A and B are shown apart, each in its own frame.
Chain A
């Protein structure tokens, strides 16, 4: 019989062997320490939603070939995130926070300020300044990309033009004017007439908590920008959480709710867009809604979620009216999604090569068509298939005169505040005035008293 000492020795030897193997695998199993471009590099790229991911999967080999032609061995591993925007943002945020974010990610431009303030994104300013193509991006989009610290952390992937979409066929059939409404009152009058004609709630401005960030970005902000009151004071770098315009905006939701013009019940449900946007609007029950260029293909195009046949004859767009009608109606134009590089990327130079490729030429043209977006740069008008899309080209022209709200730090918290306030209004738990008071209280709590202003 062997002694217990022999068993201990054998156990120790086994543990030492395992430790050595683990160490060996750890040091040789990856290329974590490679930061130069001398060896093969595998980049990770994360995007979401099938059409975008399919396009990347199809065209990324071209990037790899282009890099090979330059003597660089770069491959890209594509990661598909959750399809829903909110879930995708949550995953990205957790990935960033845990230090596991892919090298390159698609982010909503509205989230850039909070991601940048969190230290998650790589500062691209110097690289962009040395990239001649950067000057081809529209000036206003470049300006809006500059964060409060004066640095740029993303490259626009697309320009989103948002307007009011309306069913011109049904309005005309019922003798309702399709002229551009210039004030909220005129818009309300159209919605009232439409409701009388079809008997259902007829106008949709996203509201409530279930729509997530869309309540702010696809509904509230288009009203707020028409009031003349600022929502953010760029000089003092503070949110203006009480103003006549903000109260008017919440009162507008109150009017829509009280008169039964807004489809309230669907707005309170999970996936609140499904019923009004994908069922009621194509069916001609909902006649006016806020929508962006993506609706031409992503939502209502032949391969969209809810195709509308002969859409160009049935649907047309208005600009957003102003509160009193004193200013010109306007379209909303801004960067929608953008490309960014994680601060912790081991291969920032190679990642920037990928971002440049994604933000140029054929890929950007195909991307714009696939997701129904306007080009964020001025030299894609001749690049197929984008050049074959008259609606997108027309939308791109609107970019110059459009209004927008460059999202400052704290936008994610303000989105939450507005979601809660509008939900209180549409569920009739608060009037517009009461909801305005809620905004002050909640903003004070979430943003801190030193980051807000009252007018």
Chain B
């Protein structure tokens, strides 16, 4: 790479970076800074606090840390991320990608067809996906899942009432698999064929090859995906909100819905901002942990 030597180089550099920096500053950094500021006020969208908000110090944080609903929502979100993103999406997507990859002594037929099928959820907008699942998981005998159960003499099941958390977890796994699969497929294809052949010559079984060769080589990609999916899943809102609105009761009130309700249904912007800041801190900690894991050499 050529080093920066002249004012012209500097101007070129600034010229290319400025649009991205302006967008980043305007749409990411400034809102985050503003939210942090709001979190120390009693800003509301209605009432006297809307007219003249005041500085309240750490009151919002104290209120949140003493709010059982906030604790429950955070715990629920951790469970949701763990089950749907870390375990569900990662494992299923990896297995699908591994099965479809062209490897020594293994070739699956109709791979493009399968790939297209598995990629379909990626092409569906979030709101449409939620409506589709609302219909599929409809609790009446006419719901698609219940029709399936009916064929074997079971059901009907009130999926979004009796098993709401499990259902939204499955829906999020379904929704996240395509992206993960594409990422893992590209990573698996990048492993030198000779490496895999060598492991087979050394007598490795398929399981040993996967565990001792493929996974260690793909560790950076797996960790990168885990970091991305953890962050995006913590921030999920639309998919769950359209399906259950956090109900029944609080069963699916993940942190995104909790923040939305405080900020835009109860109009407590200060409190909602504080919850957002706490979420940001959690994500920063998790992100730092993943980065630390990635620094370890295979």
Question: Which residues of chain A have a CB within 8 Å of any CB of chain B?
Answer: 86, 90, 93-94, 96-97, 111, 114-115, 117-120, 208-210, 212, 265, 268-270, 409-410, 412-413, 416, 423, 427, 445
- The reply on B45 being an interface residue by CB < 8 A is yes
Check A210–B247 contact: CB distance below 8 A: yes
Instruction: Report the interface size class on chain B.
Output: 20 to 34
Check B48–A409 contact: CB distance below 8 A: yes
- The reply on B289 being an interface residue by CB < 8 A is no
Which of B46, B48, B245, B264 contacts A210 (CB under 8 A)?
Answer: B245
Cα of A65 to Cα of B48 in the assembled complex, Å: 40
The majority secondary structure among interface residues of chain A is helix
- The reply on B137 being an interface residue by CB < 8 A is no
Check B265–A90 contact: CB distance below 8 A: yes
4 additional contacts (CB under 8 A) given A114-B47, A212-B265, A268-B248: A111-B46, A118-B47, A270-B243, A412-B267
Cα of A97 to Cα of B269 in the assembled complex, Å: 11
Cα of A412 to Cα of B265 in the assembled complex, Å: 10
Nearest chain A CB to B278's CB is how many angstroms away? 18
Cα of A445 to Cα of B68 in the assembled complex, Å: 14
Q: Closest 8 interchain pairs by CB? A: A268-B248, A118-B50, A270-B245, A114-B46, A119-B51, A93-B45, A268-B249, A97-B45
Contacts across chains A and B counted by CB atoms under 8 Å: 64
Annotate B218-243 by CB proximity to A: 1 below 8 A, 0 otherwise.
Answer: 00000000000000000000000001
- The reply on B28 being an interface residue by CB < 8 A is no
Nearest chain A CB to B57's CB is how many angstroms away? 16
For A413, the chain B residues whose CB sits under 8 A away are: 47, 266
Check B63–A445 contact: CB distance below 8 A: yes
Cα of A90 to Cα of B244 in the assembled complex, Å: 19
Check B45–A118 contact: CB distance below 8 A: yes
- The reply on B275 being an interface residue by CB < 8 A is no
For B145, the chain A residues whose CB sits under 8 A away are: none
Question: A268's closest neighbor in chain B, by CB?
Answer: B248
Check B46–A270 contact: CB distance below 8 A: no
For A117, the chain B residues whose CB sits under 8 A away are: 46-48, 50-51
For B161, the chain A residues whose CB sits under 8 A away are: 265, 268-269
Check B264–A269 contact: CB distance below 8 A: no
* 27 intermolecular pairs with C-beta atoms under 8 Å apart: A90-B264, A96-B45, A111-B46, A114-B46, A114-B47, A117-B46, A117-B51, A118-B45, A118-B47, A118-B50, A119-B51, A120-B50, A209-B247, A210-B247, A212-B265, A265-B161, A265-B248, A268-B161, A269-B160, A269-B161, A270-B243, A270-B245, A409-B47, A412-B266, A412-B267, A413-B266, A445-B63
Check A118–B266 contact: CB distance below 8 A: no
Nearest chain A CB to B244's CB is how many angstroms away? 6
Question: A98's closest neighbor in chain B, by CB?
Answer: B45
Cα of A96 to Cα of B244 in the assembled complex, Å: 28
For A410, the chain B residues whose CB sits under 8 A away are: 47
For B158, the chain A residues whose CB sits under 8 A away are: 265
Check B247–A268 contact: CB distance below 8 A: yes
Cα of A209 to Cα of B244 in the assembled complex, Å: 13
Cα of A445 to Cα of B66 in the assembled complex, Å: 11
Cα of A445 to Cα of B243 in the assembled complex, Å: 30
For A427, the chain B residues whose CB sits under 8 A away are: 249
Nearest chain B CB to A269's CB is how many angstroms away? 5
For A209, the chain B residues whose CB sits under 8 A away are: 247
